[in-house]
């Protein structure tokens, strides 16, 4: 197996996690920046539609590094799609496959289920709720919490910040409640 | 005297709530300098996809406790990040610009709970936090652009309602 073939395989957690963790010192040492992603959404608001809202009155150009970082993530996605894609499907836990099959989800080949996240499903109730309302909650919630998985769970916990631990526990609690208690209703719509 | 929050310098105030924006260096406005963040972003995007962290299915498995994968990724990322921060503090490592590295202290507010729960809902629904959204779009999930636009809209509405929300 050549190195490139090895890279094309799905990466185990003990490879991916440490590389993600290294983003923290890399950003600190190469530019004195703290790892965080959700703020980029705020910079987009400040740049495109500040609308005299105090929260968006700041010099977003000073934070432009964050937009470069996010654009890099987007490019990383493109590069992976063109050069590092595997032919194999995402391996999904059989119990989850069984549950999701019960909701008419049959396509397990993509990163996101095509039965839920596609242009055509946007006009279905569950597709609309998951994409439109779900996306809204991600943007609203991360800013209200002052950070997302990167800013709080990784950067904040790495710096032993109690508020970040509280935020991370809340993220997880919200996710458990949604995935186990609410999502089954949404999927059955 | 109660200060009218709207008249205060929210830029400064907000920065104490958010992690970013505190660390400024004077070179940060040049494109050449910023290209390094593009490179880090590309690396981060590739890792996110190859480790399937951006997969909706992986996120469902995590919240249903059906797989260790996501816990392993986040846990080992925090471990490496924490050791790095410890070493940076212990040896007072400077940035390559020769600046002292600033690690912002966060203060507690209720937003971390309310906002955290709201984000948790969205995370389990979309199967993505903000970073993976951009990676998904790059990887070809074009419909994710709707989710990203709505996340920007959510951020905007938060900004609009900010003074009225419990914090």
Q: Around Cβ A100, how many Cβ atoms within 10 Å?
A: 21
Average pLDDT, integer, range B32-59: 95
Tell me what pLDDT residue A17 has. Answer: 97
User: With 90 as the cut, is the pLDDT of residue A129 above it?
Assistant: yes
Query: Using 50, 70 and 90 to split pLDDT, how confident is the model at B31?
Result: confident
A80-111 pLDDT per residue, tens: 999 998 877 778 999 999 999 999 999 988 88
CA distance A99 to B39: 39
* Residues facing B94 on adjacent strands: B100
What is the distance between the alpha carbons of residues B150 and B167, in angstroms, rounded to a whole number? 23
pLDDT single digits (tens) A17-55: 999 999 999 999 999 999 999 999 999 999 999 999 999
Q: What SS3 state is found at B100?
A: strand
Nearest to B103 among A51, A147, A159 (CB): A159
Residue A179 contacts B, CB cutoff 8 Å? yes
Average pLDDT over residues B73-88: 97
d(CA B19, CA B115): 15
Token pair listed for A29: 């040492």
| Structure tokens that stand for A188 in this block | 């059955």
Q: Chain A partners of B77 at a C-beta cutoff of 8 Å?
A: 17-18, 20-21, 154
Confidence of residue B29 (pLDDT cuts 50, 70, 90): low
Q: Between residues 21 and 80 of chain B, which touch chain A (CB distance below 8 Å)?
A: 21-25, 28-29, 33-64, 66-80
Sign of CA dihedral B95, B98, B99, B101: positive
C-alpha dihedral, B117 to B118 to B123 to B124, nearest 10°: 70
Cα gap B84→B53, rounded to integer Å: 22
Q: Lowest mean pLDDT: which of A55-59, A163-167, A174-178, B20-24?
A: B20-24
In Å, what is the CA distance from B82 to each residue of A32, A43, B77, B94? 16, 27, 8, 17
Please report the ipTM that was assigned to this predicted complex. 0.95
User: What's the pLDDT at B28?
Assistant: 52
Among A65, A79, A114, pick the best mutation site for testing chain B contact (most B Cβ within 10 A). Answer: A65
Collapsing DSSP states into helix, strand and coil, what is residue A49?
Answer: coil
Residues in A 21-80 with any Cβ partner in B closer than 8 A: 21-42, 44-45, 49, 51, 53-59, 61-66, 68-80
- Does B63 have pLDDT greater than 60? yes
On the question of pLDDT at B26 being above 80, the answer is no
Q: How confident is the model at residue B13 (pLDDT cuts 50, 70, 90)?
A: very low
Neighbours of B3 (CB within 10 A): 7
DSSP of A50-78: -TT-GGG-S-GGGGHHHHHHHHHHHHHHH
Distance CA B18, CA B37 (A): 19
Name residue B100's beta-bridge partners. B94
Mean pLDDT of B45-73: 96
Q: Is the pLDDT of residue B24 over 50?
A: no
The average pLDDT across A50-72 equals 93
Residue whose tokens read 């059906």: B66
How confident is the model over A130-158, as pLDDT tens digits? 999 999 999 999 999 999 999 999 999 99
H-type alpha helices, chain A? 3-8, 13-31, 39-48, 64-83, 94-101, 125-128, 134-145, 157-158, 162-177, 183-187
Q: For residue A2, what pLDDT is reported? A: 83
Rounded to whole angstroms, the Cα distance separating B112 from A155 reads 15
Token look-up 């309310």 returns: B114
Phi, psi of B100 (to 5 degrees): -70, 135
Higher pLDDT, B146 or A85: B146
Rounded CA-CA distance B108/A163 in Å is: 5
Q: Residues A159-178: what's their mean pLDDT?
A: 97
Residues 102 through 131 of chain A touching chain B, CB cutoff 8 Å: 108, 110-113, 116-119, 121-122, 129-131
Between CA B117 and CA B111 the distance in angstroms is 9
Return the axis-axis angle of helices B111-126 and A134-145, rounded to nearest 10°: 150
Alpha carbon distance B163, A107 (integer Å): 44
- Among A102, A37, A79, residue whose Cα is nearest residue B42: A79
Residue B139: enclosing H or E segment and its boundaries?
A: helix B130-139
Q: Judge whether B155 and B119 are in contact, CB under 8 Å.
A: no
The model's confidence at residue B156, banded by pLDDT at 50, 70 and 90, is very high
């Amino acid at each position: 197996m050549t190195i490139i073939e090895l890279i094309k395989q799905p990466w185990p957690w003990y490879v991916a996690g440490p590389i993600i963790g290294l983003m923290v010192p890399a950003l600190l040492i190469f530019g004195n920046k703290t790892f965080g992603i959700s703020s980029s959404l705020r910079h987009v608001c400040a740049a495109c539609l500040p609308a005299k809202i105090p929260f968006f009155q700041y010099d977003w150009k000073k934070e432009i590094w964050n937009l470069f970082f996010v654009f890099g993530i987007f490019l990383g996605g493109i590069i992976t799609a063109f050069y590092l894609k595997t032919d194999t499907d995402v391996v999904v836990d059989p119990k989850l496959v069984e549950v999701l099959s019960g909701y008419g989800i049959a396509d397990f080949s993509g990163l996101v289920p095509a039965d839920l996240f596609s242009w055509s499903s946007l006009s279905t109730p569950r597709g609309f709720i998951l994409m439109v309302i779900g996306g809204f909650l991600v943007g609203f919630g991360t800013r209200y919490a002052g950070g997302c998985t990167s800013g709080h769970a990784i950067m904040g916990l790495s710096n032993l910040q109690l508020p970040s631990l509280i935020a991370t526990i809340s993220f997880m609690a919200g996710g458990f409640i949604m995935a186990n208690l609410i999502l089954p209703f949404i999927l059955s719509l | 005297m109660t200060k009218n929050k709207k008249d205060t310098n929210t830029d400064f105030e907000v920065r104490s709530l958010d992690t970013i924006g505190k660390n400024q260096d004077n070179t940060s406005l040049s494109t050449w300098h910023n290209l390094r963040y593009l490179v880090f972003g590309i690396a981060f995007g590739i890792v996110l996809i190859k480790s399937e962290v951006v997969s909706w299915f992986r996120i469902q498995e995590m919240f249903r406790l059906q797989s260790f994968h996501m816990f392993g990724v986040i846990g080992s990322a925090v471990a490496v990040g924490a050791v790095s921060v410890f070493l940076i503090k212990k040896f007072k490592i400077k940035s390559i610009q020769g600046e002292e590295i600033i690690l912002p202290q966060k203060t507690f507010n209720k937003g971390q709970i309310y906002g955290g729960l709201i984000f948790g809902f969205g995370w389990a629904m979309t199967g993505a936090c903000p970073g993976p959204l951009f990676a998904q779009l790059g990887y070809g999930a074009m419909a994710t652009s709707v989710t990203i636009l709505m996340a920007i809209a959510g951020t905007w509405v938060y900004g609009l309602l900010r003074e009225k929300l419990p914090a």
